[in-house]
Structure 1
Amino acid sequence: MIRRYVPAPLALLLSLPATASAAPAPQAAPAAAEARPPVVVPTVVASFPHDREAFTEGLIWHGGALYESVGLEGRSDVRRVELATGKVVKRAVIPPAQFGEGLAAWKDQLVSLTWHDGIAHRWAAATLRPLGTARYSGEGWGLTSDRTALIRSDGSATLTFHDPVTLAVKRTLKVTYMGQPVDQLNELEWVEGTILANVWHQPMIVRIDPASGRVTQVIDLRAIVAEVGARDPEAVANGIAWDAAQRRLFVTGKRWPTLFEIRLPR
């Protein structure tokens, strides 16, 4: 089953130039006192092969390796991927009735979500051996970690911070752009004290202040999306990984043939 797409708030789309895709009618006017976050265009540093059949839901760099969570019922798995070739070198299969979603690392483990089953799977990062499951309430979309909590998106404008061991809820965070909620937050990545998030069906990544929930930057991926040239309407940008050791940022999308290393302007 594929999620039903509902357009993102116009306030967010208006952060891009007028050449952006047509947007729905405005809802409420943005807060006048809040400055419009800057829009930045990334530079592609390198391109790598990516499994064009992978319905990418989570992407992380951990322990010197790239890991990916792939969705769709009957086809979901967590995999370690060779960056240079896109080859899957290890794979852990998620039960066929479940739709795999976001992925994050916690110490020597990986944690992966499921869309509407409320089940989080734990895996040994080195071997992808299953280590058990835990439960959470609500939908699972994206997942990341700030080293104190697991942070989950559920398609709304709210991010939920979970205890990484018990998955108990520690706090929630409402994400806003110029005072308006930003819903359909999807894949997440913790990068140098901020949260990067894909916005489902939008060619952009938003940078979120984890203290206030405010969007502080919009990363314009339209040139990358155009280069991919995907015809499948569900082949959207989704997948952000940060290699902190080498300061490399990777992005990809669902059923994209390419994974990109990008650099953001300073």
Structure 2
Amino acid sequence: MTVRCALPAAFLLAASVLAGCTAPVPPVPVWRPQVLAELPHDPAAFTQGLELAGDALYEGTGLAGRSQLRELDPTTGAVRRAASLPGTLFGEGLTVLGPRIWQLTWRDGVVLEWDRATLRPLREVRIDGEGWGLCSQSDPARLVRSDGTDRLRFHDPVSFAETGSVRVRLDERPISGLNELECVDGQVWANVWPTDRLVRIDPADGRVSAVVEAGGLLDPSRRDRADALNGIAALGDGTFLLTGKRWPAAFRVRFVS
């Protein structure tokens, strides 16, 4: 016998349980970036992290022996200050937390804590696994880290001790390659390496709630040495700044259907 689920929406969940039906799952929206403005970006910057805090844009760059923490002018992209990571550390994602900045390293097994006012490293904290992307949430107060897999890891914002994790799924399929992160309004945006795609993730259960297809954002004629999209900074007005590794430009965008 076929059971038909045709009850009013208010009773759909209860009916599904009682009748053995499964409520339909709405499709995940797919958006694209609408370019509002373009600004210069250092084409030598192997961008790994990007975040706006106050009147400064902070950028973490990678490559062993060449990694930096940078403070940029958010309107011109000009470098105001820069500090090199110690030794041959390979820098990755970063996040600003009050007077401090946390910056990951890739396979060095440490995360750096910086003094934001002076751009001086304060300490190194050991971590397990790789470091890719990083962002901070206020409710609950925690840091969110990606490690290149399909898992988001949660960390204490003071000690950086790992406090939990969640696996990320799109239509029940794992999404790996999670890279640079941005925490916005309780959700986590992630670049998906090595693509020009972004996903919005609910950190409560790991479900992807939106996808952004950003292919073509940087014209093919300008992708001579450019690598994948890898840099997303929320600007606080519903718009974002996007760039990538060795991209010659950054783009202020709005996501539209």
TM-score higher than 0.5: yes
Answer yes or no: is 1:84 the counterpart of 2:64.
no
**Partners of 2:24 and 2:152 in 1: CA distance:** 24
Give the partner amino acid of 1:214.
R
CA contact (8 A) 2:55 2:74 kept: no
The residue that corresponds to 1:241 in the other structure is 233
Q: Deviations over 1:3-50 (max 9, x none)?
A: xxxxxxxxxxxxxxxxxxxxxxxxxxxxx9544311111211111100
- Please report the RMSD computed on the Cα atoms of aligned residues, expressed in angstroms: 1.9
The residue that corresponds to 1:73 in the other structure is 64
Answer yes or no: is 1:101 the counterpart of 2:59.
no
CA contact (8 A) 2:102 2:111 kept: yes
**Partners of 1:235 and 1:243 in 2: CA distance:** 23
**Partners of 1:228 and 1:160 in 2: CA distance:** 37
Greater strand proportion: 2
Distance 1:228 1:100, change over 3 A: farther
User: Identity of paired residues, percent?
Assistant: 44
The residue that corresponds to 2:174 in the other structure is 181
Question: What is the TM-score when the length of structure 1 is the normalising length?
Answer: 0.83
**Partners of 1:192 and 1:228 in 2: CA distance:** 35
CA contact (8 A) 2:238 2:254 kept: no
The residue that corresponds to 1:200 in the other structure is 193
CA deviation after TM superposition for structure 1 residue 264, in Å: 1.7
**Partners of 1:263 and 1:243 in 2: CA distance:** 10
- What secondary structure sits across from 1:225 in the alignment? coil
Distance 1:235 1:112, change over 3 A: same
- What secondary structure sits across from 1:41 in the alignment? strand
Gaps of at least 5 residues in structure 1 are 1-31
Question: What is the TM-score when the length of structure 2 is the normalising length?
Answer: 0.86
**Whose Rg is larger?**
2
**Partners of 1:33 and 1:128 in 2: CA distance:** 50
Report 1:1-266 matches (<5 A): 34-147=25-138, 148-226=141-219, 229-232=222-225, 235-244=227-236, 246-265=237-256
**Partners of 1:209 and 1:66 in 2: CA distance:** 25
**Partners of 2:117 and 2:74 in 1: CA distance:** 16
Q: Deviations over 1:192-235 (max 9, x none)?
A: 22110000011111010111111111111013033673134x61
**Partners of 1:171 and 1:228 in 2: CA distance:** 43
**Partners of 2:167 and 2:71 in 1: CA distance:** 32
Aligned length, in residue pairs: 234
Give the partner amino acid of 1:252.
T
**Partners of 2:221 and 2:210 in 1: CA distance:** 23
Give the partner amino acid of 1:183.
S
